[in-house]
Structures are given as structure tokens and as C-alpha cells.
Amino acid sequence: MSGVVSWAARRLLRLRVLSVFLLCVLTSWFAVMAGTYRLPGRLLALTILAGVVLLALDALLLARRVATAAPSEASHHLIHVIERYAPLVVLNLMMLNVVAPVLGLVAGAMDYVSVLKAWLTLLGWLSGWVLFCLFALGIVGLLAVLGMRLADRIMLRFGPASRVPPMVDRGIVALTAVYCAWAMALTFNGTFDHASATEHRSEILDVWGIPKTPLWWADVRSWDAPGGIRRVLIFPERDQLVPALLDAGQRVRVRIRPGFLGLPWVESMRVDFEHDLDALVAAAPSAASPRKQLIEMLLRDGRWAEAATHAATYARHHPDDRDFIAQVAATLRTLRQPERATELDKVALPLSQGRGGR
């Protein structure tokens, strides 16, 4: 088995263009994984940015190898097929792009949900997007290949400088291999982490990133080092955050998982809408919803004495809401706080009986 693997590896390394293409795919995949299982830290949070930079370098390396590669027999056949059918594909996409608005109108006119409506909507959207991507990739790829070929010819005219491209080639491959190994460790660290998360309150100190990209970070106050700063990559879908709407001073709740390999990573970071509940309850003591939210927050945070006190106050203001009071008492018993649950029952029961007598 090892002989087959080593033979396949040597064979792949001889395919200079294909090997770098696969390296680009791996770098892209592991960069996404590094952003998914993100580590908090000034430099560790930039792992995904390092992956994007390496992916750009790998793309330039791929363009160079394409520019200097000698096409094989199989490549000649593939190029012949592309030359034959590519114009036809582009022409069909252009024709489909013309009728795309009509497809969108037809799909919008359908009141019922059907497979046909979904296909018409998808065709109307994909036609222009795919055509744009094809032309953009074609132009960028052509310019990159021409640029790499011109750079190689210039380097060949200078003796010592001709050794620079192979050294840069090996350096990029080595850095990418190290990055993929590190990102693979982060993937295992998050994928096999089945421990429960711990939630910490923090405050945003700064928000920064690259405009018009999903790469945005929030520098938040450290939850385990007084005066420290933690840098967290913003994951809009998971965090339910819009980077442009974040600002310094906002309170957040950060959920941390311990990590399978002992590397704590950020599961989620959400705006903390509950940090003003104390002031809101003090301003409106008889308001039901704010005090209920405060009690639920105190139970989650393990502040059982305060939760029981607020529950007793809630029972005095709202004695008819027996279900919520009973739910709080049951939660306290589940959390092994029978004394506080019994005290809450003693407070709530006379109030409800008194209300029933009147």
C-alpha cells in the first residue's frame, strides 16, 4: 500500500500544473476551515488572512507553471476539446443572458412554489453571473500567464537572477504546506471538540477589516486577562452580526469551546442585549418581560440567589403567572438549589391564594 501511495505522490509531483492546482484547492479549503474554527488572538485570528495571501501566491505560481509548461499528449487533446466547445458554451450563455429578465418575470408571476419556478429563477441569475465569471477568469488568467512568461524571459537574461524563480517556487510551496498542516490541526481541534462551551461577556474595543470582503475582525476586551485584548474574526452567518453595524463600546457575549487539541476557539460572538436589563428592571419594577429575561439570564449565569430574589419580586407583581414561577422553581431544583426553590414556593403560594380569595 505504501508503495502505491509513494508512486502516486511522485507521479503527482511530476504533474507540475496539476499539483499546484490541487495545492490551490487545499489552501482555499483550509482557509475556510481556519475561519470556521477561529482562534482568538492578535495573530491567530489572522490565520484566514494568511490563507488568502498564500492562495494568491499559489495562483501566481499556477500561472507561472502554466506559462512554462510543455503540453502533454493528453493536454493537447483537452485543449482541442476546449477550443471546439468553449465558444459554443459562451454563445449559449450570452443568448441565455438576453432572455434572463424574461425568465425572472415568468418566475415572479408564479404564485405557487414549484421546481419549475426555482429552475427559472436559478437560470435567470446564473446566466449573467457565470458569463461574468468566465470572462473575468479568462482575462485575469491570460494576463497572469503573459506576465509570468515575460518575467521568466527577463530573469533568463540575467545569470544570477535566473535562480530566483525556482527558489521562490519552492518557498511558496513550503509555506503553503506548513499553513495547510496548521489549518488541518485547527480543523481537527474544532471538529472533534464535543465539550460544552462557556460564555463570556466582553466589550468591543475596535472593529476593522478589508472593505467589500467578508474579512472583518473585532478587537474585544479579554475575558481571562485584565486589560488584555482578544481579536476575533467576525462570522456574519453564525454570529448574526453585520460588521458595518458594529462599533466600539458594544457589549457582546463570546462562546468559547476548549478544543480537542487544547486550543480554545470561538463558537459564536453575539451582541449582548441583556446587559441593560438591570437598569431597565430598576426603572420599571412591575414590567413583566424585562424581569423574566433577567431571571432567565441569571439562571444561565449560575447566579441562583439573585434569580430567586427576582423571581420572588416577580411573583409579588404578577401572582397569576404561576406557570413561570413554577418553571423557575423547577429549574432551581434541577440545579440542586432546593432551599431557594422552596422559599420561592412559599412566597408565590400565599400570593396566588390571596388573589383567588378576592
Per-residue pLDDT of the chain in tens (358 residues, 90 and over written 9):
455 445 444 554 456 777 888 888 999 999 999 999 999 988 999 999 999 999 999 888 887 777 666 555 555 565 566 667 667 666 666 666 666 666 666 666 666 555 666 666 666 666 666 666 766 766 766 666 667 667 666 666 665 555 667 788 888 989 999 999 999 999 999 999 988 888 888 999 999 999 888 899 999 999 888 888 999 999 988 888 888 888 888 888 899 999 999 999 999 998 887 666 777 777 777 888 878 877 887 887 777 788 888 888 888 888 777 788 888 888 888 878 787 777 777 766 655 554 544 4
Beta-bridge partners for 253: 201, 270
Query: What is the crossing angle of helices 304-317 and 338-357, to 10°?
Result: 0
- State the pLDDT at residue 53: 93
- State the pLDDT at residue 9: 46
- 281 closest CA partner among 293, 273, 298, 296: 293
The amino acid occupying position 229 is: I
Beta-bridge partners for 252: 202, 271
- Copy the grid coordinates of residue 304: 441562583
Q: What's 198-271's CATH class?
A: mainly beta
Start-to-end C-alpha separation, the chain: 85
∠ Cα 32 34 38 (to 5°): 120
pTM for the whole thing? 0.64
- 265 closest CA partner among 1, 25, 16, 47: 47
Q: Which of 2.40.50.100, 1.25.40.10, 1.10.3720.10, 3.40.30.10 would CATH assign to domain 281-357?
A: 1.25.40.10
- Copy the grid coordinates of residue 118: 426555482
Domain ranges within the chain, ordered by starting residue: 2-189, 198-271, 281-357
Beta-bridge partners for 220: 204, 230
